[in-house]
Chains A and B, each alone.
Chain A
């Protein structure tokens, strides 16, 4: 029983991180139909920026500063690389974002060096509270709380704020939005800012789980693809739910299924999200909450 609680808790924390990365994909895709493969490297950038800022600023300020800095970097990438290509084929933008990701990774290596770093935390690294006999890491609780907070802010922004309405108008009908004087280009930039900020937040907490930060951190974003597909490429609520489910399933598999598979089971939990994704692609390719739409590519 205590094992189960422990697994579910760290699964939820992992799921929150997946959800934040996936949310970045969705925000960008909904506004501009661009599939951003550089999302994972924004996570890496965020983690490294936090390592530096965390050393000189109080923790909460450092987190906000990291989100701001990474968001601005993402917005600059959009302005320089993707804005000139608005309206061009999907394939071109996909290849470009892959390339942008590569450049970001190399930049991180050049700026911060190739060594592994420790992620600063305001609490003891392995601090935990016990709930019904289970040890739950403070980092896990913090990840879930921060994720919930960010998600709440995001929901308010999208539903109520002036720029949120403009964002949804743009994703609904770009030309009509232009006709009302909504600066669609700037809206695209803002979606990249949001995606960058979410990626940074994910990076901050992801860095606490392996407890080191290196340039391969961004590969976790590959796990966000199953989340995006299962949740639905155009549904923010869908990817949050899918992120939490896949996070919990992954940790539970690691705890309960892997030991029974012998040699084969060593990393079975790493593969499972992709198996689920393949199942979804065959049965329900638009995901839990996505819109069923046929698109020729």
Chain B
């Protein structure tokens, strides 16, 4: 189980980005972390994965433990060795390596024999990757790259997979496929921390959700509770008191600007 308690993170010694957040990811569950841009979602992930140093940030308070291990003191590769693996925002595949080499890079920490079989199994699950195994990964489409990024992370054999905005920039049909993959990951017994701005998708998949704004957790609950919350409906699902609102009804300049005259 991943447990974050009262975590505070400061960038460059001055910018406080996380103001004491606490959350838990129980084993075998999907937990969603929602919030607008700049809320501190990615910073939370960086703190978990030991990447704060790389971005001149520092955890000034709080703790992160995974199955008892204190993640804040570990280097990135040691965090991975604990079984916590992240699929970074924007996919971040190795564009000048081939598809197969990307997967082999994912299996870098593995020395067991099953490694090659798993690479083959992945290519069977995602036939596009199999067809293009010797092509440069940079030529894959966005959706294919996302599948490659998730597949690459699964080869590390994680017990917790962190997905940072897996639906970012993908067509709705592809997002459906990504959702299917996330369900399959859960079926393998891997817990998932899902960072999303797409609230509908997150609620559909998650067993529990947290909403984050300005570096704080402002709301948490299981998906039905969140969906019933009025603020959540209005700001994340776009449903107001009078039902789903159309953009045509939103009057932008209702208030007169008086200082111009």
Contacts and interface: CB of A to CB of B under 8 A. Distances in A.
A181 B88 contact: no
Interface in B63-122: 76-77, 80-81, 85-88, 92-97, 101-102, 104-106, 108-109
B49 A180 contact: no
Given A180-B153, A181-B77, A181-B80, A175 B88 contact: yes
Given A165-B105, A178-B54, A180-B80, A172 B95 contact: yes
A127 interface: no
B202 interface: no
B129 interface: no
Interface residues of B, number: 27
Interface string A174-194: 011111111110000000000
Contacts of A162: 104, 108
A219 B171 CA distance: 57
A153 B40 CA distance: 46
A181 B85 contact: yes
Contact of B152 (A166, A172, A180): A180
B108 A182 contact: yes
Contact of A165 (B54, B93, B101, B153): B101
Contacts of B85: 179-181
B94 A169 contact: yes
B51 A177 contact: no
B47 interface: no
A180 B51 contact: no
Contacts of A168: 94, 96-97, 101
Nearest to B152: A180
B96 A182 contact: no
Contact of A173 (B54, B80, B94): B94
Contact of A181 (B51, B81, B93, B95): B81
B156 interface: yes
A175 B77 contact: no
Contact of B108 (A87, A165, A172): A165
Interface in A132-180: 162, 165-166, 168-169, 172-173, 175-180
Contacts of B86: 179
A172 B96 contact: yes
Contact of B97 (A169, A178, A179, A184): A169
Contacts of B97: 165, 168-169, 172
Given A87-B54, A168-B101, A172-B97, A180 B108 contact: yes
The interface residues of chain A, by DSSP majority, are classed as helix
A176 B108 contact: no
B105 A180 contact: yes
B156 A180 contact: yes
A193 B51 CA distance: 26
A12 B139 CA distance: 38
A182 B79 CA distance: 11
A87 B51 CA distance: 13
Contact of A166 (B80, B87, B108): B108
A179 B76 contact: yes
A201 to B, nearest CB: 27
A184 B101 CA distance: 17
A296 B32 CA distance: 39
A184 B53 CA distance: 14
A181 B109 contact: yes
B75 to A, nearest CB: 8
A97 to B, nearest CB: 22
Nearest to A174: B54
Contact of A182 (B77, B87, B92): B77
A184 B105 CA distance: 12
Contacts of B51: 175, 178-179
A173 B92 contact: yes
Contacts of A183: 77
Interface in A80-98: 87
A151 to B, nearest CB: 20
Contacts of B94: 168-169, 172-173, 176-177
Contact of A178 (B77, B93, B104, B153): B77
Interface of A: 87, 162, 165-166, 168-169, 172-173, 175-184
27 contacts: A165-B97, A165-B101, A165-B104, A165-B105, A165-B108, A168-B94, A168-B97, A168-B101, A169-B97, A169-B101, A169-B105, A169-B108, A175-B54, A175-B88, A178-B51, A178-B76, A179-B87, A179-B88, A180-B106, A180-B153, A180-B156, A181-B76, A181-B81, A181-B85, A181-B109, A182-B77, A182-B108
Given A179-B76, A182-B109, 16 more contacts: A165-B104, A169-B94, A169-B102, A169-B105, A172-B95, A172-B97, A173-B93, A175-B92, A176-B88, A178-B51, A179-B86, A179-B92, A180-B109, A180-B156, A181-B76, A181-B109
The 10 closest A-B pairs by CB, nearest first: A181-B80, A169-B105, A176-B92, A172-B94, A178-B76, A181-B109, A183-B77, A181-B77, A179-B86, A165-B104
